[in-house]
């Protein structure tokens, strides 16, 4: 499974730690930037991730900004994108199980590294249930231009 990761300046340090962590586990995360703590605009980063998913460069994404809120709003503006802020273990499970999210979102200034790693693992090890959730996801797509 190809997983892309991207952040703005507020999530840069967490992004770098995650890349290194998963590298030691044999999992390469495709780094879509940013490349420093210099200020940048989170919508640009979210758009880069959306393009990577749409072009098949990645199967799933991880986005990080200061809180996770702004970058998730920017990503969710696009059809087919379901970016969820995984603020606790339960939401990490439900984002996949019920919402079939394709982007995990974290706050670089609001979440601890160990919690983020655990939530990524919960998400990756949870199966989408489908069924009644398919109808609900289709309704979301109807409302997106």
Q: What is the mean pLDDT of each run of 10 residues along the chain (145 residues)?
A: 97 98 97 96 98 98 98 96 98 98 98 98 97 91 68
Q: What is the predicted pLDDT for the residue at 144?
A: 57
Range of the structural domain that residue 121 is part of: 3-142
Q: Which residues are catalytic?
A: 98
Q: What angle do CA 18, 21, 22 make, to 5 degrees?
A: 85
Answer whether the bond into residue 76 is a cis peptide, omega within 30°.
no
Q: What is the predicted pLDDT for the residue at 145?
A: 52
Indicate which CATH number applies to the domain containing 97. 3.40.1400.10
Distance CA 73, CA 50 (A): 12
Structural domains counted in the chain: 1
Helix 113-124 to helix 12-24 angle (10° resolution) is 60
Tell me the torsion sign for CA atoms 129, 92, 85, 121.
negative
């Amino acid at each position: 499974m190809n997983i892309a990761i991207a952040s703005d300046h507020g999530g840069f340090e967490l992004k770098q730690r995650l890349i290194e962590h998963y590298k030691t586990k044999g999992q390469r995360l495709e780094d879509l930037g940013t490349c420093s703590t210099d200020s940048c605009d989170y919508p640009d980063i979210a758009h880069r991730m959306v393009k990577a998913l749409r072009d098949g460069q990645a199967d799933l994404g991880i986005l990080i900004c200061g809180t996770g809120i702004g970058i998730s709003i920017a990503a969710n503006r696009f059809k087919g994108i379901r970016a969820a802020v995984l603020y606790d273990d339960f939401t990490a499970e439900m984002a996949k199980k019920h919402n079939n999210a394709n982007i995990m979102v974290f706050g670089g200034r609001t979440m601890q590294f160990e919690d983020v790693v655990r939530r990524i693992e919960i998400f990756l090890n949870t199966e989408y249930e489908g069924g009644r959730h398919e109808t609900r996801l289709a309704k979301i797509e109807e409302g997106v231009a």
